[in-house]
Amino acid sequence: MKVSQRRRRIIQVFALTGFLLLVACAKKESKEEQSPKLPVVNFVVAAIKTTPTELRLPAALQALQDTPIYARTTGYIAKWFYDIGDHVKAGETLALIDTPDLDQELNQVKANLGQADANLALAKISADRWKALGAQHAVAQQDVDTKVADYEARLADRKAAQANVDRLTQLKDYQKVTAPYDGVVSARNAQIGALITSGTSTEIYHLAQTDTLRVYANVPQSYIRSIAPGMAVQIHVPEFPNTPFTGKVARFAGALDPASRTLLVEIQIPNTEGQLFPGMFCEVVFKVLPPDPAIMIPSNAMLVRADGTLAATVDDSNRIHLAHVHVGRDFGTQIEILSGLKAGQRVVSNPTDALTDDLEVEPHDQKAEEAEQKKKDDQNKNGDKNGKASSQKKDEKS
């Protein structure tokens, strides 16, 4: 009897417990039905962009000075001293020109100068003599004036002859073709015995100054406020994939190209080691920080509707507010917001059309969750590595 009563009590206890559990579940379901689950949204915090933006522009390297050298006198190439690739100093002789015709002309004008000197001396003696006779009233004053004028004419003839001698002497000096500055010979067209005519387009040498190179880049209008003289610029050349070269902005044009709305900027690059050559293709990289940094949000946080571009923000009470925004530049994964948002606001990423104003939501910090997930993944990787290492040690011991 006692055993049966004990069993009856146990059954009663289990029955009562089950009944209470059913009642609790029913209450929970009714509560869930009464309070529907809030929609979950991921958000990011709108922040002002403080890191510089890379502006990449194609360009070509140029020599700081690039000069074609022509003959200033007529003659024949007698000798040349430097070939392509040779480095020369300013004033060094590149080639000699033999000028037989010029030599004869110079001899002739020197003889004319001697003749002019003789005529001038005779005219001076005559003018002095007639002046003395005129002072004694022995001759007419008209004759005195004639002799003085003849002397002045002979003086002018002498000056003209001297100028002609100086001109041909200067041309004679041009038979030495010299380098105008320190540089490298990039072309040589001088051939011994070749006829060189002054005033023609026959280029004897081509000289380039390559210890410093320059690059011209066309910067778009939206970036020109960030460009300043002395600004550091990186130059990337395909032949040196792991070696960026550094240059500086030397100057820029004071006006934009009306056709392309770009600003012409000159960058100078030191090239003392001679690794770079004029004519090479390169890419100019500007590290640009806007003078008025804008707010940046993910590109997928935009809502494009008939009434304009919107961004869904979450306030402190976890309610949605749709804000009209003015969009600036698109950087791919990030987009620039010029107005409509403030730094620190929570912006919904990947918003749906179901979001409406004043809708209560359950916000989740996307970056915090991503960081937490990354931390867990790193811990799992470290655990796997430690497990493999311990198993290897056990195998070695065994």
Q: For residue range 118-153, what is the model confidence (pLDDT) as tens digits? A: 998 988 888 888 888 888 888 888 888 888 899 899
Listed in sequence order, the residues at least 6 apart from 128 whose beta carbon sits closer than 8 Å to its beta carbon are: none
Indicate the average pLDDT of the chain: 84
Count CB neighbours of 149 within 10 A.
12
| Whether pLDDT at 282 is above 60 | yes
Give yes or no for a contact between 80 and 188, defined as CB atoms under 8 angstroms apart.
Answer: yes
Report CA dihedral (73, 76, 81, 87) to the nearest 10 degrees: 40
Question: What distance, in Å, lies between the first and last C-alpha atoms of the chain?
Answer: 65
State the Cα–Cα distance between residues 208 and 2, nearest whole angstrom.
Answer: 118
% of the chain residues with pLDDT over 90: 36
Burial of 282 (0-12, 13-18, 19+ CB in 10 A): buried
Residue where the block lists tokens 């010299």: 178
Six token digits for residue 184 = 């490298």
Full-model pTM? 0.62
Averaged pLDDT for residues 161-170: 90
Q: Which domains does the chain have, with CATH numbers?
A: 37-52+291-398 (2.40.420.20), 100-174 (1.10.287.470), 208-288 (2.40.30.170)
The torsion angles phi and psi of 289, rounded to 5 degrees, stand at: -115, 115
Q: Half-sphere exposure of residue 163, counting CA atoms within 13 Å on the CB side?
A: 6
Kindly state the percentage of the chain with pLDDT values over 70. Answer: 83
